[in-house]
Structure 1
Amino acid sequence: MADHSSRERKVRGRKIRSDRSSKEGRRAKKDLARKASKARETNGDTALADPGEVAPEPFVETDAVDTLRGRITGWLEADQPVHLIGPTGCGKTALALSAAAERGRPVVWLNGDESVDTAALVGDHAGGERYREDDRFVSGVSKQTEIVRERWVDNPLSVAVREGATLVYNEFSRSDPSAHNVLLSVLEEGVLERPGKRGEDRSIDVHPEFRAILTSNDVEYAGVHRQQDALLDRFVGVHVDYYDAETERKIVRSHVDLADEDVETIVEATRTLRGDLDVVVGTRAAITAAKGLAVFGGSDEADVFDDGVLEEVFTDVLSPKIAGEGADGVDELRSKIAGAL
């Protein structure tokens, strides 16, 4: 009778090797899935923010603010992208976020600068995931298969148009105009082309609820680019200027725990300096100065004018705007502030 024991050992050995190879393949697939999941968490699609989460706090409600926000939301209802233009520190960003939150749709945030290009808007390949499978099912034959999967990551514009979100594009005019060519097809044809993306999903049909709010400083500010007329023609421009004195007082008061008379002093000084100085003195500067006054002196201390406290506070707040001019520039700024106050 033939001895089958050696044959059984060989068969059993092949089966064990096959099971091991199968387990290794499954383990590799699980590792790939874990890596892909981790990559999504780290570099994944731009997060859709809940409108309640982006609503600015605190946000002052006055007739002037409500009227301006009503114009923005009205144009959005008319399916028009809105471009908020105005001086720095006047509250454009807070106004844009408040109007976006009022729509009740998800919000996608994008901050413009020189590094923003088309890929930063629409998306790009974020590398590949690869693993190797060894197939030893047939005795004496080893088959290795290397699998590489490219991963595409959608960036803010793609996410917003696909999900019907409100895109808040802050500092829009600080980005290179060539990056914004993709916006033309979005606003004119309702289609977003994604360069670099292959296959049937190269383009995205724009969701009917997609809207855009863009903010820009006036063209005379440093680092601001003139955008192409073909694109600007498709926006509605809403000019945002500094608010009236009462609104500014309420804004400052909402940010700083300071006596009413000190808030009034700060706002009056801010509005005076705004008219007398060559640098921009926005509402943001008034808030910062109020915080400084709360630390360095207030209504319970000696007179802020006689002690020069207000002069020193505003010099500290505004001196970054003349960075590079040295001590002489700061002394000149301090002298102008003292004269204006």
Structure 2
Amino acid sequence: MSKLFSPFRLGPLALKNRIVIPPMDQYSATEGKASDWHRIHYGVLAGSGAALLILEATAVSPEGRISPSDLGLWSDEAEEALRGLIGTLRAHGSAALGVQLAHAGRKASVLPPWQGGGSVPEAAGGWPVVAPSPLPWDGGFPVPRALSETELERVRSDFVRAARRAVDLGFDLIEIHSAHGYLLHQFLSPLSNARPDRWGGTLEGRMAFPLSVFEAVRQEVPESVALGVRVSATDWVPGGWDVEQCAVYARELETRGCRFIHVSSGGLSPRQEIPLYPGYQIPLAAAIRSSCSMPVIGVGLITEPDLAEHVVASGQADLVAVGRGMLFNPHWPWLAAARLGARVAAPNQYLRAAPHGVSIFETGR
């Protein structure tokens, strides 16, 4: 039997298989509110057969957005827009639903990728950016303002309020974004955190603020909701954040009630040198998995079902996240089921879509 299509328990959340659709930014919201595009995009993915769908990076405050078009969860209006979207996904999809809560820090106020990704000036709708220290992401980007103690408390409270809204919306899972060079990752890395106070310096100091955010959110999220963290296991830059430090961070999160860790890499510095190949981040996931007992989600150029099956069957990760592969083929789990001799959920309307003579679909919905 296929290991990829075997059930798995992510804390309180029972999943039908090990396929996860990770957060993938859509840059298609208006003032943080979900749009028709989100209904189209997530509607297809929710019925893909993947066990878990995690919505894109959702900003905990307006200034925490990556771009002016980011999804958000800081207002009643944004919450209600998401409520409508979730209702549609629950009615027609089979995937469990998660949301990633994020603050972009010094990588905020930029254009969507198809518009060049450059910094948005304040005159054009941008806003001042903040970070642990006044160190810009790159030479063409603004110098961020170092966050004060009062502002740090506000950021922490923003995460808590957004988590409370996510719980009220009925999400099955909440993922705190601590990766890809965004604010919490900026605190972790010595390349972006030069603070002389208790929030910087040693590894313990650099982990302190992200851990305090997790602890505050943990207090607000009931045990019935799976709460975990996305990490970049390495900056891919000498002298930066690395897998050994990340393993310590993972253990500290686990002692505080973290239910899973989603292992990615990079994003903190344009100086990164990433050795790209299919499954290139899986060795990082395996290293983190060996350092803690939390379930680990592995990700990174996993496009072939055989590779996904090997990752979970060999114990390198407990679940596999398929991102760009799902954008290219939103029915990737159907292909995987056909290749691996497994069965997968599909909407009733699509049950007749299986190739002739191939039985891959469970009872539809």
TM-score, normalisation: structure 1: 0.28
- TM score, norm. by length of structure 2: 0.27
Quick one: higher RCO (CA 8 Å, sep 6+), 1 or 2?
A: 1
Larger Rg: 1
Higher helix share: 1
